[in-house]
Chains A and B, each alone.
Chain A
Amino acid sequence: MDDLKRNWKQEKARAVPNVNAQALLGKAETFKKSSIKFQYGNVLILSITLTFYLIFFYRFLIYGTLLSKVGFIIMSVPLLIRIIAEIISISKGRNIKLYDNAFQHNDQLIRYTAFRKWMHGPVTYTIMALYTIGYYFIMVQFAELVSGWLIVTMCIAYPVVAYLIIMQVRKGIKNEMRQLYLLSEYYKEIES
């Protein structure tokens, strides 16, 4: 062991990174900003969608049938829940502290990933199911406002889009399950 320590010490002198400190500082600041933008990007897109719904409601559905109003609520409330869940997720993500010890950090990551998995799994599927019901409820009223071929196109296109979204959601869940597995492996390693 003493030999190894000696070797390690000798090697320390050679451990010189090929990095400029000022350039790294700039890179770190850029990364921090883009990370914040990325985190809130999803919330922004969902909020814009919700705003679009509200405009659409006041423009076309406020004097509409009860069915279309119910459809609107069924579509909008889950979207609002999704926005709230996304904000909670960001807050949970920010509470993960890289300067905690490895055991605590791993524990926080497991909780966070489990939350993301729940959000991307059951929550998203429920939202999509409700969204689909709401969509077709609104289509009934919408049929009075636009031409028949457009309604047919929208009704046929919806399942295709929904299928693509479900595939994307499944991919995300699979990735989160893999992350959870790898994190639990670290748990075992640290504890063993």
Chain B
Amino acid sequence: MSAANQKLFLDLFNQYKGMVMQVSTGFLQGDRELANDLLQEVFINIWIALPNFKGESSPKTWIYRITVNTCLTYLRKQKSKRQINTQALPRQVADVIPDTTVSKNHNHLYHAIGQLESTDRLIIMMVLDEMEYPEISNVIGIREGTLRVKIHRIKQRLKNIMHHG
């Protein structure tokens, strides 16, 4: 692998590690240790895909796509391995996170996000990250109109969870 690609990888890592870590943590309901493993998988996939990065989309969108697909694959592997239900793992994990690691508010937020379906979790995190709707639509692969309806529903669900959960 060329030195140019190595440099590009390190630049992408330094620029987007925080973003990927936050999505991974949110996806795994606040478990930083598992999120660290997931982040590594994401960046290994980025390294493998790097020769195909042509700059047609922004690096952020490109990395988000890889992150979303890696998160979904990760969860599928976990389900396949242990045949657990969608929320069993994150819930167990969140229960053991001390408040010193994650503040109460954030723990509550991660916990609430964790109650959503896997793709909804990823979509709402992009909304929280203030990504534009066309960008999110580009990452998920659904029409913008459908996405707006979907996001509206996710927000309602999240609000209900935060108030009652």
Determine if chain A interacts with chain B. yes
A182 lies within 8 A of B118 (CB): no
Q: Give the number of chain A interface residues (Cβ < 8 Å).
A: 45
Residues of chain A within 8 A of B48, CB atoms compared: 28, 31-32, 35, 98
In whole angstroms, what is the CA distance A115 to B19 when docked?
Answer: 35
Give the contacting residue for B140; candidates A18, A22, A103, A175; CB below 8 A. Answer: A103
A122 at the interface (CB under 8 A from B): no
B31 at the interface (CB under 8 A from A): no
B94 at the interface (CB under 8 A from A): no
Residues of chain A within 8 A of B6, CB atoms compared: 25
Number of A-B contacts (CB under 8 A): 135
Knowing A98-B65, A190-B119, say if A17 contacts B128 (CB, 8 Å): no
Residues of chain A within 8 A of B105, CB atoms compared: 7
DSSP class of B's interface residues: helix, strand, loop or mixed? helix
Knowing A97-B52, A191-B142, say if A5 contacts B130 (CB, 8 Å): yes
Binding site for A on B (CB under 8 A): 1, 6, 9-10, 13-14, 17-22, 25, 35-36, 39-40, 43-45, 47-49, 52-53, 62, 65-66, 68-70, 72, 76, 79-80, 105-106, 109, 117-120, 122, 125, 128-130, 138-142, 150, 155, 158, 162
A-B residue pairs, 9 tightest by C-beta: A103-B141, A101-B141, A28-B47, A15-B22, A8-B128, A15-B21, A28-B44, A189-B119, A17-B21
